[in-house]
Amino acid sequence: MKMKALVLTAPEQLSLQEVEVRKPQKDEIVIQVKACGVCGTDIHMFFGDKGAFQNDYPLIMGHEFAGIVTQTGAAASKFKVGDHVAVDPNIYCGQCRPCLRGDVHYCENMTGIGTTVSGGFAEYCTVKERAAYLVPDDMPFEYAAMMEPVSCCMHGIDRSNIHSGDTVAIIGFGSIGQIIFELANNSGAARIIVIEPMEDKLLRAKEMGAFLTINPSSKNILLYLKQNKIPSLDTVIECVGRKDSMEMAIDIASNRGTVMLFGLTPPNTKLEILAFEQIFKKELTITGSYINPFVSQRVIDLIASDHIDLSKIITDKIPLKDGVKVFTNPSYRRHGKIVIGNL
């Protein structure tokens, strides 16, 4: 059977092509893709940068997707045709030392759907049955497709050391910053402060209930916090992936605070940190967050219970036939979350 797919054949060489739907092996299922989110990693790979894993060409990208099961392999028994599913794209081996220690996101033999093998920017995708999670039939496919990015954010929040009553600062308020905001709110943060240079995103932060918004281009952050009687920032989460904003996060975090560097930087990025003044003396915890181990079911339950609002985070729904322009037209990078598919 043939299908249409966005095929990346070289850096910045993406086109809509007709390709064969891969038949399922005995432990696989075929999913009719209804929605696939565009991630920063996809943009990196489009331009030839390294993704989470090393990728080859040709490649069908797309690792944030959901759809309907249309075929099952001979030994696949978890799902039936017609089930609605979302996909965790990281397939670990379960046998290497990291896997046996429970650190599956450091699997030495990881397969990445949409990064090392064909993904969801297509009409169909064939995946291991164990990569799929059942979602309620009444959950919109674009919400189900958000399972993967929300899972990554959930893992970041788990590592952010947020306690009920804490004050949390979020640097960067794109779609990831907005998801982090909702999860921090669910974690019991008493006050969430958003630091973002774009006024439209600051307005969005206010609409979502930010206690305070700061444009770092026009305000001295520490002075403005003092003027607004904010005594401390218990956790600072950087969602941009820039050297300057990561250094800012470390600078503004309070004594014994946690700095979560969530944003993805270009490879070989180096930070300038004052070891005594910023880490030793302040007793900072500086941490990162890599992929999304063992949180997917929690996220499905969270979305299904309406404890996270994805309606305004998703700004564009683009048909698969028009998907190339999302990557070639730079204006789309200023939007919120973009979903490609046939909804």
Average pLDDT (138-145) is 98
Q: Check: CB of residue 45 under 8 Å from CB of residue 84.
A: no
How distant is the alpha carbon of residue 300 from its chain centre?
14
Residue % of the chain over a pLDDT of 90: 92
Residues forming a β-bridge with 38: none
245-279 tens-digit pLDDT? 999 999 999 999 999 999 988 888 999 999 999 99
For the cut 90, the answer to whether the pLDDT of residue 343 exceeds it is no
The CA distance from 111 to 91, in Å, is 5
**CATH level 3 topology of 160-288:** Rossmann fold (3.40.50)
In CATH, what class is 2-151+292-340?
A: alpha beta
192-233 tens-digit pLDDT? 999 999 999 999 999 999 999 999 999 999 999 999 999 999
The CA distance from 46 to 18, in Å, is 19
87-97 tens-digit pLDDT? 999 999 999 99
pLDDT for the residue numbered 293:
95
Average pLDDT (85-109) is 97
145-178 tens-digit pLDDT? 999 999 999 999 999 999 999 999 999 999 999 9
Contacts of 155 (CB under 8 A, 6+ apart): 289, 290, 291, 292, 293, 295
39-81 tens-digit pLDDT? 988 998 999 876 555 678 999 999 999 999 999 999 999 999 9
pLDDT for the residue numbered 54:
66
pTM of the model as a whole:
0.94
pLDDT for the residue numbered 135:
98
Q: How confident is the model at residue 335 (pLDDT cuts 50, 70, 90)?
A: confident
| Cβ density class 294-311: b for 16+ within 10 Å, e for less | ebbeebbebbeeeebebe
Q: Would you list the domain boundaries of the chain? A: 2-151+292-340, 160-288
Mean pLDDT, rounded, of the chain: 95
